[in-house]
Amino acid sequence: MEHSASAPFIRPAAAQDAGRIAEVLVFNNRLNFFPIFKDEPYSFCEMQVVPLAQRLAEDQDALSRTFVWDDGVLRGFVRLQGREVEKLFVDPCFQGRGVGAALLEFAAARFGADRLWALEANAGARRFYAAHGFTPAGESRFEEGTDQRLLLLRRQA
Please give the mean pLDDT across all residues of the chain.
Answer: 93
Distance, in Å, from the CA atom of 113 to the CA atom of 101, rounded to the nearest integer, reads 13
Around Cβ 102, how many Cβ atoms within 10 Å?
23
Question: In this predicted model, which residue has the larger pLDDT, 66 or 6?
Answer: 66
Which pLDDT value is given to residue 8?
Answer: 77
- What letter does residue 141 receive in the DSSP assignment? E
Handedness of CA 114, 74, 121, 43 (dihedral sign): positive
Spatial CB neighbours of 144, under 8 Å, sequence gap ≥ 6: none
Which pLDDT value is given to residue 4?
Answer: 44
Taking a C-beta distance cutoff of 8 angstroms, is the pair 115, 153 a contact?
yes
pTM of the model: 0.91
Across 21-26, average pLDDT: 97
Compute φ and ψ for 23, nearest 5 degrees.
-60, -45
Around Cβ 103, how many Cβ atoms within 10 Å?
27
